[in-house]
Structure 1
Amino acid sequence: MLRNILAVFAGIIAGSICIWGVETLNHIIHPFPKGMKPDNMEGFKNYIETLPFLGKFMVIVGYALGALVSGFIATKVSKSVKANSAIICGLIFLCFTIYNMSVLPTPAWFWVLGILVWGLVLVGYKLALKKQ
């Protein structure tokens, strides 16, 4: 039981680091407007609205990488052949993703991909089983 809890925490941390890395790269490619602070919600909403397709798609790429790594790490730490830890990681990330999409101006395609991409935790799970 404790190993499964640690596996979920490890998966969430590893996935979050991946998402953070891709989004940091995205902000280098598509920087915030001068003077805008990321904690200014109205400014951030405007930034998201004006972000080009590639900038929005990079967020999905970050989610995809985060899902793969999260599922992989959670499975490795749990040392289980069951996908429970990976699925829990995916559901937690999915909840955060849906919240973010509901408070930020995101297009319909982003909603579809933003929800579907978390299924990739199962690919990470399968990859971890092959590496055992």
Structure 2
Amino acid sequence: MTDRLDRIEVMLEQLVMAQTRTQQQLDSTNRAVAALGEQVTGMSSRLDQSFENFTGAINEGFAVQDERQRTTQQQIEVLIGESQQNIRQHRDFMQRFDAITETLQSLLTQVLTRLNQLWDRAS
């Protein structure tokens, strides 16, 4: 019976040693999991920050694009207004030019008529 008890005692010691190794492995695994958890938390935080930076950059890009579009639209409106003013000024000039041309033509006709009359008298 002692032999049997000795074997049981050896088996119990082996079980205790196996239990101790298992506990050590479990503790080591828990430490590794905790370290990985910290890494994941850090990576998640950096990823969140990168996403915020990226989102901010995109929003700034859209704001710049919107401002350029507004500026371009304003410049187009100014150019259209200036073009319309130039067209009006050109029309006004052409009306004055036509009036002056008609007046000059009338005066030239009168001068030629008078010269013809003088020529006819002189002949």
Classify the TM-score, shorter chain: under 0.3
Tell me which protein shows more helix as a share of its residues.
2
| Bigger relative contact order, structure 1 or 2 (CA pairs below 8 A, ≥6 apart) | 1
Rg comparison, structure with higher value = 2
- TM-score normalized by the length of structure 2: 0.25
